[in-house]
Structure 1
Amino acid sequence: MDKIDKQILAILQEDASTPVAEIAEKVNLSSTPCWRRIQKLEEDGVILRRVALLDADKLNVGVTVFVSIKTNQHNANWYSQFSNTVKLIPEVVEFYRMSGNIDYLLRVVVPNIAAYDAVYQKLTQSNALFDVNASFAMEQIKHTTALPLDYAGLN
């Protein structure tokens, strides 16, 4: 991955609907080589997909809840059941297995506390959980889907 690839990725991370001709102009290439580079980045799995970012407030899911979960179950069957349960809850938009004091971290988006409680009920009714702790975000200070590109190509 070279400097031009990184420039292309930066542009696409900002706006994936940018026309190839415009991207090409910004990175000093003609359209065809630029398009080929984008295709190669997709084939290589660097570009996973292109999506639309939506306004959570306008969709009435402006409340963000970070849910930390501890369990005393650390076996494949429990994990499979828990993972499948979480994946079926559309309000859970991020799901991580963690190191440290908590086992799992979820980011949940809902319209209000009552909607979070419904998510909480789904989580606790289908799985044996040791501790569930929810923190409600008061203010979003930074949010980006753009990944840092300075490390790309370094192994």
Structure 2
Amino acid sequence: MELDKTDRKLLRLIQSDASTSVADLAEQCALSKSACWRRIQKLEAEGVIRQRVTLLDPAKLNLGLTVWISIRTNQHNADWAKKFNQVVQNVPGVLEVYRLGGQIDYLMKAVVADMHDYDSLYQQLIAADLFDVTASFVMEEIKFTSALPV
């Protein structure tokens, strides 16, 4: 899909606050409300806008420990990958999982309340028959954004 300047502006505005009304978005993009709504609908239909969410403060929900988990496996087959995918889908604290090229097979981001909570998460993960698991604990968040550079 080819995005024009107006589409890109609309996407920047929606990324900063998905609750902005269509009327406000239309005004800021110099569009009519109906034209703005049609653009949003097209961006959603094309999959450019995947979903609209509300970002929560993990610390205020007693999830103050962010963990990056590096995983290596010695099983590179479809059955193991299917089991691994099922396990991580069912662990609530796991936010993101990426399959990588290189020395690490998977990189995972999780949030937990504390070290005890991490151990519980770890116990759930090892059900996937992992070879090597390394955890790094975030001491300070220096930059966080969910906004893509459009």
TM-score by length of 1: 0.93
1:94-152 deviation digits (Å, cap 9, x = unpaired) = 0110111100011010010010000111111x122111000000100111111111xxx
2:53 to 51, 62, 73: 51
2:135 aligned residue: 134
1:22-64 deviation digits (Å, cap 9, x = unpaired) = 1111111121111111111111111111111111011111110
* Whole-angstrom CA distance in 1 between matches of 2:145 and 2:128: 32
* Whole-angstrom CA distance in 1 between matches of 2:10 and 2:64: 31
* Whole-angstrom CA distance in 2 between matches of 1:67 and 1:51: 25
1:74 aligned residue: 76
* Whole-angstrom CA distance in 2 between matches of 1:74 and 1:55: 37
Considering only aligned residues, what root-mean-square deviation do their CA atoms show, in Å?
A: 0.8
* Whole-angstrom CA distance in 2 between matches of 1:52 and 1:130: 36
Give the 3-state SS of the residue equivalent to 2:136 in structure 1.
strand
2:44 to 36, 42, 54: 42
Give the 3-state SS of the residue equivalent to 1:107 in structure 2.
strand
Q: Which amino acid is 1:36 matched to?
A: R
1:32 aligned residue: 34
1:114 aligned residue: 116
1:59-82 deviation digits (Å, cap 9, x = unpaired) = 111110000000100000011111
1:144 equivalent in alignment to 2:145: yes
Q: Which amino acid is 1:147 matched to?
A: L
Q: Which runs of 5+ in 1 are unaligned?
A: 150-155
Give the count of matched residue pairs.
148
* Whole-angstrom CA distance in 1 between matches of 2:52 and 2:43: 12
Give the 3-state SS of the residue equivalent to 2:85 in structure 1.
helix
Q: Which amino acid is 2:149 matched to?
A: P
Fraction of identical pairs, as percent: 55
Give the 3-state SS of the residue equivalent to 1:57 in structure 2.
helix
* Whole-angstrom CA distance in 1 between matches of 2:34 and 2:84: 47
1:152 aligned residue: none
Q: Which amino acid is 1:135 matched to?
A: S
1:83 aligned residue: 85
Q: Which runs of 5+ in 2 are unaligned?
A: none
TM-score by length of 2: 0.96
